[in-house]
């Protein structure tokens, strides 16, 4: 069980947003995604961009359309979906193991009626063979979104909380340990507002109402404000107040995506959490920083560093890592990502692990 | 007599018509795509031109080879040049100055004529010449004024107003 938990913590993400595109002028997610906070079904423009901007080779005419061009979207109906599989390897003094499995398989449909979008995914739970709900039906997202006007959107339903960087790797230490890992989508009401210079999200979250009542899922309030910098960079602040059973938390975060000279970019996030459980208060800090290079079309090498201290009073709650990785988008619809990390977990003693994974992703 | 000599000498000295040649010229444009508010930037380094004049008053022309514009996305460049700017029919944009007043380290307002897409229109903006003789001019145009169809692709429509920045060393 311990191995499974560790493995799940090390897996990359099931969401689908590439925040580096901010540095190409796509300061918010809506050019490419139907979802205002990114991820999920692509707009027609997003599909074109996956071919024209993000892929090494262009392939054939129409390749960017659904199912490699076999199906066409219409103005009011967009098709999406994802298949992700992964090979992982973990080695330290206690364990040396490799695993290969399907992480995600689903389809997603977005239908438009006037200014309303209805979006839903249907698929099955992925994960290693030990995952208790593996192969069960899973709808990661289902929501209705109303474009009140060009600037304001309202959304209700199940989707990912828009906190911090919508980074494609949910195992980052600013994701899973803070409750934004795999299958963390919850039922929310969300208001969002966009202008040429900034964006604002305010949401109230009712938790995952599908889960049994005995299970305590967090209910929260979320505020996220980001400022665009010269149309190619972004700096954001967010706050979340959450309650779950007998615990509550305040979570503050800063995040940034910066275009750097010579095709380099930086994306980083730092979060500070106050967690209250009875009379016990625990302060946590987490940060993830990535330096990447976009000079080769569709081939993105990067360096990543991460740090997490779950209790600032206890040094033996620290995890830090340094990693090197590359994302490769050979053709529209196809993505490979490889990452190697040196990871230090300090519990009663320091455990140093070599972690690596190779992910394959095909989107419909 | 001495006074006349000095005044004449002063006039001769300042009456020299100077010719300033633009080098390392470049043009950048910035547009917004709606509704997603994307930033669309393009640039070219094929800008050339000269300014002629006396004192700080200059006339002149800057020419830009429009086929050299680059927005960083091939398909977007193709649409920009062939569908909207029609560069085969209208290969150059020309910015014509008359009596532009340029003083070092003093931002000035200017008016000029821009010829683009077969249309000539007045434009106005600001210009600044710095100590290194780098001239920066900045102005906005409305695409409709030049008979350019508003670009639109897969649900993203470019805003009518486009900001243009001209830069180069004048010596």
Residues in B closer than 8 angstroms to A231, CB to CB, are: 30, 39, 41
Q: Which residue has the higher pLDDT, A5 or A52?
A: A52
Q: How many CB pairs lie under 8 A apart between chains A and B?
A: 51
Is the pLDDT score of B13 beyond 70?
no
Tokens linked to B73: 């996305």
Per-residue pLDDT of B19-57, as tens digits, reads 888 888 999 999 999 888 889 999 999 999 988 888 778
- Domain B17-170 classification at class level: mainly beta
- A52 and B73 within 8 Å at the Cβ level: the answer is yes
Q: What is the pLDDT of residue B18?
A: 78
Q: What is d(CA A195, CA B32) in angstroms, rounded to the nearest whole number?
A: 11
For residue B126, what are the β-bridge partners? B109, B138
Residues from chain A contacting residue B39 (CB–CB below 8 Å)? 25-27, 231-232
Q: Considering only residues 175 to 204 of chain A, which have any Cβ-Cβ distance to chain B shorter than 8 Å?
A: 194-196
Domain at A152, CATH number = 2.40.160.10
pLDDT digits (tens, 9 = 90+) for A210-246: 766 656 689 999 999 999 998 899 999 999 999 988 8
B36/A26 touch (CB, cutoff 8 Å), yes or no:
yes
Instruction: For chain B, say whether A30 makes contact (Cβ under 8 Å).
Output: yes
CB–CB of A332/A51 below 8 Å?
yes
Domain limits for position A11: 2-363
Question: Does residue A25 sit at the B interface (CB-CB below 8 Å)?
Answer: yes
Which residues face A257 on adjacent strands?
Answer: A234, A267
- The ranges assigned to domains in chain B are 17-170
Q: State whether B73 and A195 contact (CB < 8 Å).
A: no
HSE value, Cβ hemisphere, 13 Å, CA-based, for A233: 16
CB-based contact A24 B32, cutoff 8 Å = no
Q: What is the ipTM of this complex?
A: 0.78
**Encoding tokens for residue B10?**
């002063």
**Side-chain half-sphere CA neighbours of A249 within 13 A:** 23
User: Chain B within 8 Å of A48 (Cβ-Cβ)?
Assistant: yes
Angle at A47 between CA A45 and CA A52, to 5 degrees: 90
pLDDT of residue A304: 97
Residues of A in contact with B34 (CB under 8 A): 150
Closest CA to A178 of A271, A79, A70, A62: A271
pLDDT value, residue B2: 54
pLDDT at A15 over 50: no
What is the least distance, in Å, from the CA of A77 to any CA of chain B?
13
Chain A neighbours among B 88-107 (CB < 8 Å)?
none
Decide if pLDDT at B14 tops 70.
no
How many CB atoms within 10 Å of residue A57?
14
pLDDT at A346 over 60: yes
Contact B32 A31 (CB under 8 A): no
Q: Which residue has the tokens 């490979």?
A: A336
pLDDT in tens, A68-111: 999 999 999 999 999 999 999 999 999 999 999 999 999 999 99
Instruction: Say what the pLDDT of residue A123 is.
Output: 96
CB A236 within 8 A of CB A225: yes
pTM: 0.87
The pLDDT score that the predictor gives to residue A17 is 62
Whether A196 sits inside 8 A of B30 (CB atoms) is no
In this predicted structure, the answer to whether residue B96 has a pLDDT above a threshold of 60 is: yes
Give the gap in angstroms from C-alpha B145 to the nearest C-alpha of chain A: 23
Which is nearest to A160 in space by CA: A315, A255, A30, A40? A40
Residue of A nearest to B154 (CA): A45
Q: Which long-range contacts (CB under 8 A, 24 or more apart) does A95-100 make?
A: A95/A3, A95/A6, A97/A3, A97/A7, A99/A7, A99/A128
Helix ranges (DSSP H) in chain B: 2-14, 74-78
- Establish if A61 touches chain B: CB-CB under 8 angstroms: no
B19 Cα to chain A: minimum distance (Å)? 35
Report residue A80 CA to chain centroid gap.
Answer: 17
A76, closest residue in chain B (CA to CA): B155
> What per-residue confidence (pLDDT) applies to B27?
95
Share of chain A above pLDDT 70, in %: 94
**Can you read off the two tokens belonging to residue B49?**
């031109």
- Establish if B41 touches chain A: CB-CB under 8 angstroms: yes
- Using CA atoms, how far apart are residues B140 and B166, in angstroms rounded to an integer? 11
Residues of A in contact with B35 (CB under 8 A): 30, 150
Nearest-neighbour CA in chain B from A172: distance (Å): 28
Q: What pLDDT is recorded for position B170?
A: 86
């Amino acid at each position: 069980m311990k191995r499974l938990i560790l493995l799940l913590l090390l897996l990359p993400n099931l969401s689908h947003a590439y925040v580096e595109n901010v540095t190409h002028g796509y300061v918010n997610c809506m050019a490419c995604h139907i979802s205002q906070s990114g991820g999920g079904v692509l707009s027609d423009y997003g599909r074109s961009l996956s071919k024209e901007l993000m892929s090494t080779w262009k392939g054939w005419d129409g390749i960017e359309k659904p199912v490699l061009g076999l199906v066409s979207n219409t103005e009011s109906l967009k098709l999406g979906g994802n298949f992700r599989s992964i090979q992982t390897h973990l080695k330290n003094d206690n364990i040396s193991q490799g695993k290969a499995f399907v992480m995600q398989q689903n389809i997603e449909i977005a239908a438009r009626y006037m200014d309303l979008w209805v979006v839903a995914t249907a698929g099955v739970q992925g994960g290693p063979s030990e995952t208790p709900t593996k192969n069960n039906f899973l709808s990661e997202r289902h929501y209705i979104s109303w474009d009140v006007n060009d600037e304001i959107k309202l959304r209700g339903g199940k989707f990912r909380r828009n906190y911090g960087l919508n980074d494609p790797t949910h195992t980052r230490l600013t994701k899973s340990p803070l409750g934004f890992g795999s299958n963390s989508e919850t039922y929310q009401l969300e208001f969002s507002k966009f202008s040429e210079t900034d964006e604002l999200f305010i949401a109230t979250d009712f938790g995952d109402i599908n889960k049994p009542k005995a299970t305590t899922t967090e209910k929260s309030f979320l505020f996220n404000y980001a400022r665009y910098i010269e149309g190619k960079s972004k700096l954001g602040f967010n706050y979340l107040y959450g309650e779950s059973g007998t615990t509550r938390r305040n979570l503050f975060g800063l995040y940034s995506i910066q275009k750097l000279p010579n095709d380099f970019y930086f994306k980083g996030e730092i979060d500070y959490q106050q967690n209250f459980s009875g009379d016990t208060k625990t302060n946590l800090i987490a940060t993830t920083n990535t330096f990447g290079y976009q000079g080769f079309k569709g081939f993105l090498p990067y360096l990543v560093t991460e740090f997490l201290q779950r209790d600032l009073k206890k040094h033996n709650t620290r995890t830090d890592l340094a990693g090197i990785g590359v994302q490769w988008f050979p053709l529209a619809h196809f993505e490979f990502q490889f990452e190697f990390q040196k990871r230090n977990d300090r519990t009663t003693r320091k455990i140093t692990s070599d972690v690596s994974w190779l992910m394959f992703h095909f989107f419909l | 007599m001495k006074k006349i000599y000095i005044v004449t000498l002063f006039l001769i000295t300042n009456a020299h018509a100077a010719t300033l040649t633009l080098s390392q010229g470049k043009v950048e444009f910035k547009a917004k795509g709606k509704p997603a508010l994307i930033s669309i930037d393009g640039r070219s380094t094929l800008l050339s031109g000269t300014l002629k004049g006396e004192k700080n008053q200059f006339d002149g022309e800057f020419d830009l080879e429009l086929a050299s514009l680059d927005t960083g996305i091939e398909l977007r460049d193709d649409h920009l040049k062939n569908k909207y700017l029609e560069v085969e029919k209208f290969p150059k944009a020309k910015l014509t100055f008359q009596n532009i007043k340029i003083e070092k380290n003093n931002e000035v307002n200017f008016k000029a004529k821009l010829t683009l897409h077969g249309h000539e229109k007045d434009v106005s903006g600001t210009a600044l010449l710095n100590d290194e003789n780098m001239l920066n001019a900045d102005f906005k145009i409305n695409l409709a004024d030049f008979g350019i169809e508003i670009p639109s692709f897969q649900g993203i429509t470019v805003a009518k107003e486009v900001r243009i920045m001209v830069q180069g060393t004048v010596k």
